[in-house]
Amino acid sequence: MTTISTTGTIMVDFWANWCGPCLMLSPILDEIATENKVTLVKIDVEAEPDLAQQYNVSSLPTVIIIRDGQILSTLVGSRPRSEYEKYL
């Protein structure tokens, strides 16, 4: 079983090629990660279905914010940029 673990804060973006909102959100998450100096991990749910299942991802896009290995927030659906930044 693959897991996501690291020290510090990471944003995990669960997405798929066929998900329009995912594709629109991707560059926004790139900017947020760069500006806030956090690690962004992008997980294609079609390539990593077990990992998506492990993190209970049932809708796309889903962004999970993890700090020092602990899940802080799970944001489902496309949201305003400020909401993602609020949880960092």
Report the C-alpha gap between 64 and 10 in whole angstroms: 8
The answer to whether 19 is a known catalytic residue is: yes
Peptide bond before residue 21 is cis, with ω within 30 degrees of 0: no
Q: What are phi and psi of 60, to 5 degrees?
A: -120, 150
H runs (alpha helix) in the chain: 20-36, 49-54, 81-86
| Closest to 75 in 3D by CA, of 14, 5, 17 | 14
The active-site residue out of 10, 11, 12, 22 is: 22
The active-site residue out of 10, 11, 12, 19 is: 19
Active site residues: 19, 22
